[in-house]
Amino acid sequence: MKLETFFEKFDQFADAPDAVAKIRELILESAIRGNLVPHNASDEPASALLRRIETLSSVQAGKVRKQAAFPPVGDDAYLQIPPGWEWTRLGNTGRIFNGDSVSEIGKAELAKVEDGLPFIATKDVGYGRDTLVYDNGLKVPLGDPRFKVARAKAVLICAEGGSAGRKIGITDRDICFGNKLYANEVWEGIHHRYIFYIYQAPTFFREFAARMTGIIGGIARSEFLSLPIPFPPEQEQKRIVAKVDELMALCDRLEAQQQERETRHAALARASLARFADAPTPANLPFLFHPSYAIPPADLRKSILTLAVQGKLVPQDPNDEPAEELIARLERDLPRLAKQQGVRSPKNVPPLAAENYPHDIPESWQWSRIGNLALVIDYGTSQKSHSDSSKVPVYRMGNIVGGRLLDENLKYVDAGIDDLPGLYLKTDDILFNRTNSYELVGKTGIFKGRDDTATFASYLIRIRLPSTLLFPTFYSVAMNAQYFRQTQIEPEVVQQCGQANFNGTKLSSTVVPVPPLAEQRRIVAKVEQLMALVDELETQLAASRATAANLLSALVAELTGTSNNGKVSLSSASVTGRRGRPPKS
């Protein structure tokens, strides 16, 4: 199959993760394997070009000391190459040298230079497809002996740090550059863009990375110069470069089409949400799930919770006991229920005024502070936990995920610790994460296990509501809604030492809606029904992406002739000809 056919099938695997990026890698890999353009038997073989370069390189180098000769590639070859191609060392392709470091004082000096050569640092180099940033405010005076100059069409690559082997570019003018970059001024007869594309090919990067050393990661100049590369005839280099340029432009168009499609779907999704917001009735809920709108599952979940706490998810029933009467019963019965359970209800909860209301709610609803609804709000155990699963499980902040409490990666404490039995969880206890990163503090889940079988850690706060008067699951829903985070948590979060904190006193003062008890139950039932639909949708999307990814892998394997039990293996040989060992692991 030809690459053109591959592009024609793009719609079939467009949903695969990073589909266009993988196509780009395939193009580059095909290029250095000799699979991209036809071979021409009349081309001068690469061996003749390499002999001519060896003869002329000292002349082209001028006054610069000629680089040492390199041993033949031999066993260092890592894929097959076509007839007429040769293996050579990277050091044989040009004058390769690194730049010069600049101190902060030196940067201040260069910032004052008005007329000179641009100074390019690692941050000014992109990832292969970006142009270099020349106008960065630093210039080197012409002829300054402290700085080496790389001429136009030099190929740059980062040699140290997290971007080593990834940041790559081509100069379009003479420059000076930093000491973490290598410049390759290629010899006559070598196309600079072919070297540029070799640097970006996956197999080359694997060889590059295998030779990196040090804590921050870097490749020594001697190791860099000794890297083996597949080397085609001069005329084929030109054909390869032209073809890669053509196909990369096609990839640009595919990316633009994908972006346009995503923008269109996002607009449809917003329109769908707006249409439902204008007429928020259960009959209009299908608008949220219409397949044409492609609303992301995460956005659907947020919308469902928002509608739930606004009273727009299920219709109100005039026969329900109004929330005002429910709250009156709570005020009357809470002290008695707390005494029966041997707990202390929160004290000194501040009064609630209309200016504290987060948003509009139905007339039959009321607002209340959580402290006025709770039997108890308390912190978990700080006892050291362990891995003995025969003991009492301890829920920690990592067990709260997506509004749910997960029974995974549990730790355990002895049943005889002082905090028990007081900190045993009861069914429908709500757990709130009081300390975490800023993004995660405030996540909430509800315990659905059996009474007195588990406890919770000190970074969590327990809220116990009277289940005879309130439906606790509704309040877990409310505390996971966007309004709660945006209006109740974020304004009061305290950040210090890289952690965000939200204490029990503040939690007691947070504001939640109180619908009639029967409506609380109806809302939760509808939320669970819709969340199940979202879960199903997410599963379908994941399956669709997996199918697209498998198709993409199969097509890549067909194009490169590489497969490993259905998985792509770009390090395998792909065409007949000279063959070396597989890359080092």
HEC letters along 153-220: CCEEEECECCCCCCCEEECCCCEEECCCEEEEEECCCCCHHHHHHHHHCHHHHHHHHHCCECCCCECC
Question: The tokens 């609303």 sit on which residue?
Answer: 295
Give residue 517's pLDDT band: very low, low, confident or very high (50, 70, 90). very high
What is the sign of the dihedral through the CA atoms of 224, 225, 228 and 229?
positive
Q: What is the pLDDT of residue 279?
A: 61
pLDDT value of residue 28: 93
pLDDT of residue 584: 37
- Which 3 state secondary structure label does DSSP give 230? strand
What pLDDT band is residue 262 in, cutting at 50, 70 and 90? confident
What are 50-56's contacts with CB under 8 Å, separation 24+? 50/86, 50/88, 50/92, 50/231, 52/189, 53/92, 53/187, 53/188, 53/189, 53/190, 54/92, 56/187, 56/188
Task: For residues 382-391, give the mean pLDDT.
Answer: 94
Contacts of 148 (CB under 8 A, 6+ apart): 97, 99, 100, 176, 177
**Average pLDDT score over residue span 480-495:** 95
* pLDDT, position 273: 63
pLDDT value for 541:
78
What distance in Å separates the CA atoms of residue 576 and residue 556, rounded to the nearest whole number? 18
Q: Where exactly are the structural domains of the chain?
A: 12-252, 323-515
The identity of residue 368, as a single letter, is: S
Q: Is the pLDDT of residue 573 over 70?
A: no
- Asked if residue 276 has pLDDT above 70, the reply is no
Handedness of CA 35, 36, 42, 45 (dihedral sign): negative
Tokens linked to 88 = 């050579």
Q: What is the mean pLDDT of residues 117-125?
A: 95
Domain 323-515 CATH assignment equals 3.90.220.20: yes
Kindly indicate the confidence band of residue 104, based on its pLDDT and cuts at 50, 70 and 90.
confident
pLDDT at residue 378, as a whole number:
96
CA separation for the pair 400, 406 (Å, rounded): 6
Higher pLDDT among residues 240 and 565, named by residue: 240
The two structure tokens encoding residue 297: 């599952």
With 70 as the cut, is the pLDDT of residue 125 above it?
yes
CATH code at 12-252: 3.90.220.20
Alpha carbons 80 and 78: distance in angstroms, whole number: 7
Q: Is the pLDDT confidence value at 221 over 90?
A: yes
User: b/e string for 115-152 if b means 16 or more Cβ within 10 A?
Assistant: ebbbbbbbebbeebeeebebeeebbbeeeeeebbbbee
- What pLDDT is recorded for position 294? 61
**Three-class DSSP category at 285:** helix
The reply to whether 323-515 shares the fold of 12-252 is yes
pLDDT at site 26: 85
The per-residue pLDDT for 497 is 78
pLDDT band for 581, please (50, 70, 90 cuts). very low
Q: Quickly state the pLDDT bin for 579 (edges 50, 70, 90).
A: very low
Amino acid present at 227? L
Distance between CA atoms of residues 104 and 326, nearest Å: 68
Give the per-residue pLDDT at 333. Answer: 94
Cα–Cα distances in Å, from 93 out to 11, 49, 178, 425, 484?
Answer: 39, 11, 21, 70, 62
**Once rounded to an integer, what is the mean pLDDT over residues 343-364?**
93
Q: Is 548:19 a contact under the CB 8 Å cutoff?
A: yes
Render pLDDT for 18-66 as a digit per residue (tens, 0 to 9): 788 888 888 899 899 998 899 999 999 999 999 998 877 655 555 444 5
Residues 6+ apart with CB under 8 A from 210: 583, 584
* Confidence band of 576 (pLDDT split at 50, 70, 90): very low
pLDDT class of 507 with cuts at 50, 70, 90: very high
Least confident of 40-49, 91-100, 267-276, 557-566: 557-566
Q: Mean pLDDT of all residues in the chain?
A: 87
